[in-house]
Structure 1
Amino acid sequence: MTLSGKRVVQIEIKSKGDVFHELWKANPHQVPSLTPTTIQNCQTHEGEVGTVGSILIWNYFHDGKDSVAKTLIEDIKEEKKSVTFKILEGDLLELYKTIVIHVHVDTCGINHLVTWTIEYEKLAPNVPDPDTLMDFYRKITKDIETHHLGQK
């Protein structure tokens, strides 16, 4: 049984992909107001939001419990509308040695596709794959879409 893996979920959204990318890149502190039952808080811990190297602290609700994560913005690719977060500390690292989260937006005409990719390494073979995280990101994406569509 392998300890490393990758999970991918793609969600089509009707709201603008550029707005979604900008939210995760430069305005993550606004995410809790768009999906308050899932993410309660996002604070800048270090650095400047929207730049590689900044560190964010997230308070969120996952798998039936309140959780916390300290993330590093590891990469931003403006041309690909992607942001990469690496989890440095927090509840998920009780199960996984490493977790890297990529959020990427493709825009083709009026169609927008959000792709969440999680690369991970488990601490032990009996640790489950992070499938519930994929549901978590699907819910966040749909909550943000609903909010943006309601603003039109």
Structure 2
Amino acid sequence: MSPQSIQGCDLLEGEWGKPGCIICWRYFHDGSPQIAKEIIEVIDNENYITNYKVIEGNLLELYKSFSSTVKVTPKENDDGSLVHWIFEYEKLNEDVPDPTGKLQMVIDVAKDIDALLLSQQP
């Protein structure tokens, strides 16, 4: 859906779509290939919330911890949804930048997914 950003996503452990599964993302960011191994900590289908925690990969070269929460809020009248990304992280030191580039990447991926879904509507 977003080949310029995401090169692959592999299930390493557990079952797709279930808490506790471990996923390895291969993506391109800031001009170089990156890897993030994440565990899905929470999947709340009723409230459309998923929480991921990075357990290995390039992000942990800059951050002591890094997790993200994705919350989808359906708009009224089935007119699409809003997607909220929340990053929680602890920097290794004060010189480490905030992950605004990663935030822009997930925004770009969300736009690519949106465009694909809109192109498939009857």
Asked if these proteins are the same fold (TM beyond 0.5), I'd say: yes
1:116 maps onto 2:108 in alignment: no
**For the structure 1 residues 49 and 111, does the alpha-carbon distance in structure 2 shift closer, same or farther, using more than 3 Å as the test?**
closer
- Runs of at least 4 residues of structure 1 off by over 6 A? none
- Per the alignment, residue 30 of structure 2 pairs with 63
1:83 maps onto 2:53 in alignment: no
CA distance in 2, matches of 1:108, 1:64: 35
State the Cα deviation string for residues 47-85 of structure 1 (Å, max 9, x = none): 001100000011000111100010000101111101111
CA distance in 1, matches of 2:119, 2:80: 18
Aligned-partner residue type, residue 6 of structure 2: I
CA distance in 2, matches of 1:111, 1:38: 23
Task: Using CA pairs under 8 Å that are at least 6 residues apart, name the structure with larger relative contact order, 1 or 2.
Answer: 1
- Per the alignment, residue 62 of structure 2 pairs with 95
Aligned-partner residue type, residue 50 of structure 1: G
**How big is the shift at 1:111?**
4.6
State the Cα deviation string for residues 108-150 of structure 1 (Å, max 9, x = none): 3125110011000000110001111110110000000011111
- Per the alignment, residue 11 of structure 2 pairs with 44
- Per the alignment, residue 141 of structure 1 pairs with 110
Q: TM-score, normalised by structure 1?
A: 0.76
Structure 2's unaligned 5+ residue stretches are: none
Aligned-partner residue type, residue 28 of structure 2: F
1:131 maps onto 2:66 in alignment: no
- Per the alignment, residue 72 of structure 1 pairs with 39
Aligned-partner residue type, residue 61 of structure 1: F
Aligned-partner residue type, residue 92 of structure 2: L
Aligned length: 119
Q: SS where residue 53 of structure 1 aligns?
A: coil
Identical positions, percent: 42
Aligned-partner residue type, residue 51 of structure 1: K
Aligned-partner residue type, residue 42 of structure 1: C
